[in-house]
Amino acid sequence: MKQYVIIGNGIAAAGCIEGIRSIDTESHIVVVSKESQPVYCRPLISYYLEGKTTLDKIGYRPDDFYQKNGCEVLYHETAIQIDHENKAVVLSKGSTVPFSELCIATGSSPFVPPFDGLDSVKNHFSFITLEDAFALEKAISPDSRVLIIGAGLIGLKCAEGLHDRVKSIMVCDLADKILSSILDQDTAPMVQKFLEMHGIDFCLSDSVVRFDGNKAIMKSGKVIDFDILVTAVGVRANTALIAEIGGTVNRGIVVNSEMRTSLDNVYAAGDCTEGFDLSFGDNRVLALLPNAYIQGFTAGINMAGGTKSFDNAIPMNSIGILGLHVMTAGSYTSEKDGGTVYMQKDDTSCKKFFVRDGLLKGYILVDKVERGGIYTSLIREQTPLETVDFDLLKENASFMAFSSESRRKKFGDVV
């Protein structure tokens, strides 16, 4: 029998386990887990911090998941090297684990710029893992003034988790708008205004020059006093294990549609990888929960001798922040690159669609996200817009925009 080894214990690892077991129900699976927690939903850690969910509800799979799937989980253990020649993983505590097939699902790590004086800040946290949330929760009080560096997804979800639990929250970013990786000049100000109405302050187009204890001295000359610092500037894919043994690595571990790396018997899945983005037409890191699971499941099936490919990955985000829902997918085009942009906007909501070459390439939905998956399917399946009633779809994500034959193929007899 084979021995499968998975380095990492997140969503991609869970997908890999289930992919393996869909083909091979007997061989042993070893999971190397840096954290002490079973697999959980990372996007839910803000809700845990906010008090909207509990630890027993944050799990991604039932408590008996590993036992039922015949997995040995090595908690609080780190892989420090892959001995590819001898097909073994070297662990931080000195032991080695042999493998027949290996999956790297190491995720990403927070990127913390080398701020001058950062070591003078006593209460400094990241917000990536559940253990980060535990540590942050212990440090805060109702009188805490929190400074969050980074107005991206991680920073704003942290702000949501701390909302109503601290005295004040200031979010700073070098960019001139919040959520700059997924929103644009039409949609970011709407979301910012909503968050400001809920007591979250912003300092944009500015950056920290240095820290002096609990003071952040900004490039603009502004001084921000705080008690708690959270750095959420961004993340970097954990690629070192593959890079060190000569595997192909760019911003992430390069994989093909079967999740194979450039090394024999070695696969990768999740936030540590770089794969083909259908909407963009090139390789990118797509650090997203749905993609992580599908990548893991695809890797698992191929590791176990099956055949599966994942060749229609696109960037997707569906988030709620303090009750405001935002959904985005694909890539954004403009008239400069031959695209067409359609927008419907009022004071509190926006629909924006990006079209090129007769195909929907991307969209942004603020507040009106019902049935947004229909738009996502148009991007994934590269559906020619001439075959649907796109005018109707722009108004309402309706099944009736598809032909009766398409509805039967897509949705069966339910519509």
Q: What per-residue confidence (pLDDT) applies to 413?
A: 47
* Cβ neighbours of residue 414 closer than 8 Å, sequence gap 6 or more: none
In a domain, 51, yes or no: no
Residue 91 pairs in a beta bridge with 79
Helices 11-21 and 289-303 sit at what angle, rounded to 10 degrees?
30
Q: What per-residue confidence (pLDDT) applies to 363?
A: 95
Examine the domain organization and report whether 126 and 224 are in the same domain: yes
Domain boundary among 182, 216, 233: 233
Q: What per-residue confidence (pLDDT) applies to 277?
A: 85
CATH number (domain holding residue 210):
3.50.50.60
Whole-angstrom Cα distance, residue 253 to residue 107?
10
In a domain, 154, yes or no: yes
Q: State the DSSP string of 333-377.
A: --GGGT-EEEEEE-SS-EEEEEEETTEEEEEEEES--TTHHHHHH
Residue 274, helix vs strand vs coil:
strand
User: For the segment 227-284, what is each residue's pLDDT rounded down to a tens digit?
Assistant: 999 999 989 999 999 999 999 999 999 999 999 999 999 999 999 999 888 887 888 8
Domain total for the chain?
3
Examine the domain organization and report whether 16 and 77 are in the same domain: yes
Residue 13, helix vs strand vs coil:
helix
Examine the domain organization and report whether 24 and 88 are in the same domain: yes
In a domain, 318, yes or no: no
More confident residue, 369 or 103: 103
Examine the domain organization and report whether 214 and 163 are in the same domain: yes
321 touches 157 (CB < 8 A):
yes
Residue 178, helix vs strand vs coil:
coil
* Cβ neighbours of residue 2 closer than 8 Å, sequence gap 6 or more: 24, 27, 28, 100, 101, 304
In what helix (H) or strand (E) does residue 131 lie, and over which residues does it extend? helix 130-139
Whole-angstrom Cα distance, residue 244 to residue 84?
11
Phi, psi of 383 (to 5 degrees): -75, 120
Examine the domain organization and report whether 104 and 126 are in the same domain: no
In a domain, 319, yes or no: no
CATH number (domain holding residue 406):
3.30.390
Examine the domain organization and report whether 151 and 240 are in the same domain: no
Examine the domain organization and report whether 125 and 32 are in the same domain: no
In the DSSP assignment, the letter for residue 249 is B
361 touches 355 (CB < 8 A):
yes
**415 confidence band (pLDDT: 50, 70, 90):** very low
Examine the domain organization and report whether 220 and 254 are in the same domain: no
Examine the domain organization and report whether 179 and 272 are in the same domain: no
247 touches 262 (CB < 8 A):
yes
User: For the segment 71-92, what is each residue's pLDDT rounded down to a tens digit?
Assistant: 999 999 999 999 999 999 999 9
User: For the segment 330-387, what is each residue's pLDDT rounded down to a tens digit?
Assistant: 999 877 777 899 999 988 899 999 999 999 999 999 998 888 888 998 999 899 999 9
Examine the domain organization and report whether 242 and 105 are in the same domain: yes
In a domain, 222, yes or no: yes
Whole-angstrom Cα distance, residue 106 to residue 12?
9
Structural domain for 131, as ranges: 118-233
Domain boundary among 233, 248, 263: 233
Q: What per-residue confidence (pLDDT) applies to 412?
A: 57
Q: What per-residue confidence (pLDDT) applies to 336?
A: 74
Examine the domain organization and report whether 390 and 295 are in the same domain: no
In a domain, 317, yes or no: no
Domain boundary among 202, 233, 264: 233
> Residue 183 corresponds to which tokens in the numbers above?
């929103």
Whole-angstrom Cα distance, residue 6 to residue 32?
6
What is the CB-side half-sphere exposure of residue 267 using CA atoms within 13 A?
A: 34
- Which residue pairs, CB below 8 angstroms and at least 24 apart, start in 257-262? 257/298, 257/309, 257/310, 257/311, 258/298, 258/299, 258/302, 258/307, 258/308, 258/309, 258/310, 259/103, 259/295, 259/296, 259/298, 259/299, 259/302, 259/310, 260/302, 261/104
Q: What is the pTM of this model?
A: 0.91
Report the percent of the chain where pLDDT is more than 70. 97
Examine the domain organization and report whether 72 and 163 are in the same domain: no
